[in-house]
Each structure stands twice: as C-alpha cells, then as structure tokens.
Amino acid sequence: MGKRWVATINLETLEVKTDPYFRFKCLDNCGECCEMLEIPLRDEDIARIEGLGYNAWEFVDYEKLFYRGDKFLGYALKKRAFDDACIFLDPETKRCRIYPYRPLACRLYPFVFVRKGKEMEVYVRMDSFCPGINHPEGEPVTREFLLREYGDIIGKYRAKVLNE
C-alpha cells in the first residue's frame, strides 16, 4: 500500500491545491474497508458509541493495541469471527449500523491528513481493495469536497493555527 498526495489546504486562508488527476467516490455499501481494515478507537469514539447504548466490551478489542513509536494510540474496533468484518457492518446490506457515529478513522478513510505548520497535506492510501479510489464517477479533492466532508475537522485545526 502506497500513499499519494492529493491536496494541500492552507489552514489560514482555506486555499486548496488539488491533484486534478485523482478522483474519489465512496461506494457507501461496498463494505470492503469494514472488512480489510483494523480501526483504532480514540476515547471520544468510544464515548460517542457508548452514548448509543452499547457497552465498550461489546465493540472494543482490548487485545489489539495501536502505537505510533512508543506512544499508545488506542485499542481496535472489534471484528467478528465469521467474516472478519467490523461488528457494526450489517452482513446483508453491507451498511454501517452506526454510520453517523462511526469512529474518526472510518470517516477519514482512505484519506490521511498530515499537518505541517499552517498547511494540512491530504494523502490517499492507494489500497487496491477500495473501488472508490480513482472511480470514474469520482470527484477530485477540492476545497468544496474537503469542507463538505471534513469541515469540522479542518475547522478545529484552523482554530489552533489562528490562535498560535
């Protein structure tokens, strides 16, 4: 799996440079990423899903730990034994049962945000299992796309930059 640059957003001005040759369209109910990925959970993800009435032991896999270097990042979202898919994926419809409340890592996929000073670089994981990557009906990662899909996340980073 390689990573490819697709856009850079200036967090002060919200100007965006975009790779016009890259296109993306999530096919929503394909569910490949729900089977292929291991998803790290942040404390906020766990609290939000618990707010729906689930107990953490039902969806947190305490045996899978994520680290960046020696920094503990979190535990993994549980997968089920019979198909190795996320426990929240409906096996028939291939839809996520908690879609509006899904973890941040699921929202971001297949994109990776890397903040460098006043800019945020956006990369895409070139996973061969994701049919949305370079889909013919896809759209480039423009300012409109980024603000529509990730406006809340960009807003938080922007607030930090403007207060520095």
List residues near ligand SF4 by CB under 6 A: 26-27, 30-33, 109-110, 130-132
Closest CA to 34 of 101, 80, 75, 100: 80
Return the C-alpha torsion angle 53, 59, 62, 66, nearest 10: -110
**Closest distance to ligand SF4 from the beta carbon of 160 (Å):** 27
Question: Cβ atoms within 10 A of the Cβ of 144, count?
Answer: 11
3-state DSSP assignment of residue 163: helix
**Closest distance to ligand SF4 from the beta carbon of 31 (Å):** 6
**Closest distance to ligand SF4 from the beta carbon of 106 (Å):** 9
Task: Identify which of residues 35 and 121 has a Cβ nearer to ligand SF4 in the complex.
Answer: 35
Task: Identify which of residues 95 and 160 has a Cβ nearer to ligand SF4 in the complex.
Answer: 95
3-state DSSP assignment of residue 151: helix
Task: Identify which of residues 77 and 130 has a Cβ nearer to ligand SF4 in the complex.
Answer: 130
Task: Identify which of residues 30 and 98 has a Cβ nearer to ligand SF4 in the complex.
Answer: 30
Residues with Cβ within 8 Å of 104's Cβ and at least 6 positions away in sequence, in order, are 42, 44, 45, 153
**Closest distance to ligand SF4 from the beta carbon of 109 (Å):** 6
